[in-house]
Amino acid sequence: MNLKSSNLYYHISYWIFVMLTLTLVFGLSWGHNMAAFYFISMLLPIVLGTSYFFNYILVPNYYLKKKFIKFGLYSVYTVIVSLYFEMIVLMFSYIYLGNFSFKNLGPNISDTILMAVILYLLVLVGSLLLMVQQIKENQEKIKSLLLEKEKMKIAHLEIISNRKNTKIPYQEILYIESLVDYIQIHTLRGPIVSKENISALANRLPDLFLRIHRSFIINKEKVTTFSYNEVLIGDQYLNIGRSYKKAVKENLKDN
Q: Are 106 and 40 in contact (CB under 8 A)?
A: no
Across the range 39-66, mean pLDDT stands at: 81
The model carries a pTM of 0.46
The tally of CA atoms less than 13 A away on the side-chain side of residue 202 is 14
Compute the distance between CA of residue 30 and CA of residue 123 in angstroms, rounded to an integer: 24
Compute the distance between CA of residue 82 and CA of residue 89 in angstroms, rounded to an integer: 11
Please list, in sequence order, all residues whose beta carbon lies within 8 angstroms of the beta carbon of residue 44, skipping any fewer than 6 positions away: 15, 18, 19
Residue 162, judged by CB atoms within 10 A of its CB (0-12, 13-18, 19+), counts as exposed
The DSSP output letter for 154 is S
**pLDDT for the residue numbered 218:** 95
Query: DSSP 3-state assignment of 3?
Result: coil
pLDDT band at 100 (very low <50, low <70, confident <90, very high): very low
Which residue ranges make up each domain of the chain? Answer: 8-151, 156-252
Higher pLDDT, 93 or 40: 40
Compute the distance between CA of residue 135 and CA of residue 121 in angstroms, rounded to an integer: 21
**pLDDT for the residue numbered 147:** 65
Compute the distance between CA of residue 50 and CA of residue 42 in angstroms, rounded to an integer: 14
Q: Give per-residue burial for 203-239: e unless 16+ CB within 10 Å, then b.
A: eebbebbbbbbebbbbbbebbeebeeeebebeeeebe
Overall size of the chain counted in residues = 255
**pLDDT for the residue numbered 19:** 81
**pLDDT for the residue numbered 154:** 61
Q: Which one-letter amino acid corresponds to residue 176?
A: I
Compute the distance between CA of residue 78 and CA of residue 87 in angstroms, rounded to an integer: 14
Q: Is the pLDDT of residue 236 over 70?
A: yes
Long-range contacts of residues 165-171, Cβ cutoff 8 Å, at least 24 apart: 166/192, 166/194, 168/192, 170/206, 170/208, 170/209, 170/219, 171/221
**pLDDT for the residue numbered 47:** 80
Q: With residue 42 as reference, give the H or E element that holds it.
A: helix 33-53
Q: Are 222 and 175 in contact (CB under 8 A)?
A: yes
Q: Give per-residue burial for 12-21: e unless 16+ CB within 10 Å, then b.
A: eebbeebbee
CATH architecture of 156-252: Beta Barrel (2.40)
